[in-house]
Amino acid sequence: MAEPFALTAARVFDGDGWHDDAALVVRGGSVEALSPAGALPPDMERIDAGAMLVPGFIDLQVNGGGGVMLNDHPDVPSIRAICAAHASSGTTGLLPTLITDTPETTAAAVAAGMEAAKEAVPGFLGLHLEGPHLSLARKGAHDPKLIRPMTEADQAALIAARKALPVLLVTVAPESVDPQQVAALAEAGIVVSLGHTDARYATARAYSQAGASVVTHLFNAMSQIGNREPGLAGATLDMPGLSAGLIADGIHVDPATIRIALRAKRGPGRIFLVTDAMATIGTDMASFTLNGRTVYRRDGRLTLADGTLAGADLDMISAVRFMHRTIGLELTEALRMASLYPAEAVGQAHRLGRFAKGTAADIVALSDALDVKGVWIGGQRVAGG
């Protein structure tokens, strides 16, 4: 067995609270102990991580990074590149996300995900299939020619894929998927997320009862809160059984709306951070293509030619800073939104999003200014000096 080593810091956040002058003891890819730094054996290797150590960030919606889009290159090298591009911003686990595409591209992405799982690609948690079973009325940047209802064959293929993937999250709209299909997917262990839909409150409740447990990018591409019809946005805030991803960049959702949502939403379902990141992360590229259409990068926005938002030019540490500095959220809660809450949403909180004996040694070192200084996945350093 590998020799243990210790990461020390002025403060360690374990997902629940802070420990001053503490150390994480790592052995064989897992956390062996969280202890006072002064209690470490004198001969143990120590790495001073500086100001703070926090659980690695979990991103459940990542379309691309490092110049690569999963849609354009649904293969293992692309998955590796996307995971590596996001590791430098503190993301130690992510779901590469396929935006609505052809059946052939979807099948290729699923096959690549299966192979990435076999190869244990660092940072790969599974797949997020965002479509094609969405609503045309709320298509956003998805190609309307590729949106279609779910068939029995689609359902069977998803259930088969789940058997070979650690996590499979699927975004669907009630307009294209019926409650019985949702129930079958959830029973098979697939995380079903509602999104890109004009669903009414009562419909959202019915689909939640059928097994949907997540909502995709809260407030974006969905029915909004009205005085007599709360829509999916209202259902998300009202129903404790629904968790929701949030793109915290100040572009997709107004800061005031975010603050209102945080006050309204209480557990066990939580609001968690997602980046909805595209190929631009980690590059200086000014544009890229999605389903043959050009997406332009300007002033922090990614848009189609008609101005439609097309994903986000956002990494996870920037989202954490935004929640803490602009929204005014306590740092502990901003960190949970980036780690513990997404881990809970996909049933992985037993090993991710927190530090305890036996959890994954997925660790981020941060400065007091919230700059990423080091990143470890499974105890191996993957970013930082």
Q: Is 334 exposed, middle or buried (0-12, 13-18, 19+ CB in 10 A)?
A: buried
d(CA 275, CA 316): 6
Q: Which residues pair with 360 in a beta bridge?
A: 30
DSSP 212-278: --EESSTTSSBPPP-SS--HHHHHHHH-TT-EEEEE-SSSSS-HHHHHHHHHH--SSS-EEEE--B-
Q: How many CB atoms lie within 10 A of CB 326?
A: 14
**DSSP H or E run through 12:** strand 5-13
For residue 20, what are the CA distances in angstroms to 11, 114, 207? 4, 41, 44
d(CA 53, CA 90): 11
Closest among 5, 32, 34 to 20, alpha carbons compared: 34
Q: Of 101, 249, 276, 313, which is the active-site residue?
A: 276
Instruction: Assign 181 to helix, strand or coil.
Output: helix
Angle of helix 255-264 versus helix 231-238 axis, rounded to 10: 40
The amino acid at 2: A
d(CA 269, CA 342): 10
Structure token pair of residue 328: 């005014």
Annotated catalytic residue 276: yes
Residues carrying an active site annotation: 276
